[in-house]
Each structure stands twice: as C-alpha cells, then as structure tokens.
Homo-oligomer: A and B are copies of this chain.
Amino acid sequence: MTSTTTYPSAGQLNPTPRLLLGPGPSDLHPRVIAAMTTPVLGHLDPQFLLLMSETQEMLRSVFKTRNELTLPISATGSGGMETCLVNLVEPGDRVLICIAGYFGERMAEIAHRCGAEVHVEQESWGRTFSLDRLRDALRRVRPKVLGIVNAETSTGAWQDLSSLGALCREFDALLLVDCVTSLGCTPVEIDAWQIDAAFSCSQKGLSCPPGLAPLTLGPRAVEAIRRRKSPVRSWYFDLTALQSYWGTERVYHHTAPITMIYALREGLRLVLEEGLEARYERHQRHARALQAGLQALGLRTLTEGHCQLPQLHAVLLPDGVNDVQGRKRLLEEFGIEVGGGLGQYKGRVWRIGLMGYNSRANCVFQILAALEKVLADCGVRCHRGSGVAAAEAVYANSPS
C-alpha cells in the first residue's frame, strides 16, 4: 500500500538575520543559543530531574516567591494564561477581567471558553486601573478570580499591582496576573504583592526562544484547585498532574521539551548573575535614552508618562507614514523588526521593544537612526542625528 513517490525537501535554512526590537520574540542571548546545543537527556533521567529543580528554584527567585507550584508550562505564554484559567475556574464561576488592551481581551476570551461567567472592567487602551475603581468592581461582581495584565504588550502600559493583592483578599478573590512582558524587565513581586497566580513567557525579558510559559501559584490558588468539584477540562494543562511530574513524585505526564528547558535555565542564570535590581535599572536606563531620542524626533507614545513601560514603547505614527511600508523598510533595509499595532491601534502605532538582552545602547542607536531615515523619507521633519544625539546625552548623564 506504500506508494513510492519522492517528495522535494525545502532548501537549507538560511534566513537573513534580524535585530528583534518588537514586542517579542527578542534576540536570544548567545549563551542561551549555546545551551540549546547540549545533548538531549531523557525526561526522567536523574540529571534532567536535577536541572528541572534548579530551573524551578531560579524561577522562584525571579518571580520573588516561595510558591512550591512554580514551573514552566510546555507551551507559549498564552498557554500559560489558559493553564491558570482552566485550573482556577470551574464552569459557572464568576470572573472579573480588567481590559485596557489586546491581552486583557484575550484573558476574557479564554475565561469565557473555560465556562466562566465573565465580567469585564474596561479602560481606554494605554491607560491603567486605579485601586478605587477595582475596589468598586470587586464589590459589585464578587468574583472568584480577578484577572489583570501587569505589562500590556499591545499598549506599553504598566499596571501598578503593589496593593491589589491585599484588596483582592478583602473580597476573597484570587488575583491572577499576566506577567508575559514584565518578567525579567520590570519588578514582579509575587509574594510581597500577594499575587495568587501569575504566568509569563520565555521570549521577552528572559531572552530565550518562544515555547515555554513559566508560571507560579500560591497557597490560596492551590487550595482553590484542590476544592474543585469538576475535573480540570484540559488534560495537557492540568496543574495537579504537572505538579506530580515537577514535584517530588516525578510521575510521568508528558515528555518535557528538554532543549527549551535548557534554554530557560540558561536565561534564568543570566538574569540572576546580573541581579534583578541591576537588570530593572538597565531596562530603565535604555528606555530613558530611547524616549529622549523619540522625543527629539518629534514622536509620542500611546501611554501617558507615568505608566510607560521601559521594555515596550508604542510609538504613535505621524501623519504621512504608512505602517506596512515603513515597517517593511525597517526590516529589509535596516534588518530591524518592530511590531505593528494590535486591535484598535492596528496601523496607528509601532511597538518598539528593548527586552532582556536587547535592552542595550546599540539597539537604541540602531532603531533611532533607522527611524529617522524612514520618517524623513516620508516627509516627517526631524533634525539629522537628533534622535541618536538625544540618546547619547542621556547615556552621558547616567553612566552604567
């Protein structure tokens, strides 16, 4: 029954390299690339089990938590979002989702698919939620889970969370936080901020390839899972089963993505070698330089100043600049990728990321120089070299 047709294979893998200054993936740190060439181990090899434990311990340090249930899900960041929701929510549970961008919307959509009764609190894209407003919403909805985004990848807005955990406890709600774009770039304090569940990704602040979703759940979230009346609807994302593999029992669940775990482990080592505070300060410093450069070029960002993330800047496109053509030029002429806008900002912003390994002066200079050229050719008036010069001035005044 086997036919004998032959099939052509594709040519050698040989893409033109890019500098990834969009919303992620970001460029891999060279040491992460090297780690991925390490010979593969079996998923139950004692050597690999040790690497798993080390990865979890470093994840706890980066999340600033002592949560036992801290592990990377074998899926991308959105898979981490689904894992948290499908485990915490049972059909009919009330969930309150705060939406001020694309990824808040995604959280509401996934909660809906989990069978939740979804209530949403809407804010204009690029803005954030005040504690008073969230208190009113909690009082009105009385949700089992409040879901919110710490760093909104679609707008570049930073949501303060430092007192939200305490507020959620007043209302006996679990606090679920999307840290996809914050982890490794801006402070994430799971225990100090009393966050019950959080998820992130590998390809932004951690400078690894996309493919893993680190997450952490605290005691209240674990207890909520233990008290479920119905089985978790997903087998693949069932945290109780996953914990049996990642915990001390070491019961086989699915074959862990070994090479990706190698990458994550190396990415976490780099974060801890640098030190969390030094890393956050580095992101702030290069963001100041970028913002000074953007301002000198006459560009503004979507967010208001106080909530601008250092790792992601949604730049409003000036009149006369064509989104698709402009990004195509950046990509093909300068080898730089920036992100287009999402949702209502499609065609209206470019999202510039300075994340993890790519939060460095070379990246700031390259994107400012390229932007100036592309904008000038579209008729946008800017002084030659003004963007780079403004960034240089920032660096001169704040040496590393």
> CB within 8 Å of B: which residues of A?
1-4, 6-10, 13, 15-18, 20, 22, 24-25, 27-28, 33, 35-43, 45-48, 51, 54-55, 57-58, 61, 64, 74-79, 82, 86, 106, 109-110, 113-115, 162, 187, 189, 192-193, 201, 203, 209-211, 231-237, 252-260, 262-263, 265-266, 268-269, 271-273, 275-277, 280, 331, 337, 339, 342
Q: Which residue of B86, B187, B256, B260 contacts A1 across the interface (Cβ within 8 Å)?
A: B187
Copies in the complex: 2
For A47, list chain B residues within 8 Å (CB): 15-16
Question: A259 touching B36 by the CB < 8 A rule?
Answer: yes
Question: A27 touching B3 by the CB < 8 A rule?
Answer: no
Question: A110 touching B235 by the CB < 8 A rule?
Answer: yes
Q: From A60, which residue of chain B is reached at the shortest CB distance?
A: B7
Question: B10 touching A265 by the CB < 8 A rule?
Answer: yes
For A4, list chain B residues within 8 Å (CB): 277
A177 CA to B115 CA in the complex, in Å? Answer: 29
For A39, list chain B residues within 8 Å (CB): 15, 17-18, 27-28
Question: A75 touching B78 by the CB < 8 A rule?
Answer: no
Q: From A36, which residue of chain B is reached at the shortest CB distance?
A: B36
A28 CA to B58 CA in the complex, in Å? Answer: 27
A254 CA to B212 CA in the complex, in Å? Answer: 12
Question: B269 touching A10 by the CB < 8 A rule?
Answer: yes
Question: A210 touching B257 by the CB < 8 A rule?
Answer: yes
Q: From A19, which residue of chain B is reached at the shortest CB distance?
A: B39
16 additional contacts, CB 8 Å, given A6-B272, A37-B37? A3-B64, A9-B58, A13-B266, A18-B39, A22-B42, A40-B209, A45-B331, A76-B254, A78-B236, A82-B236, A110-B236, A113-B232, A113-B234, A234-B234, A236-B237, A259-B260
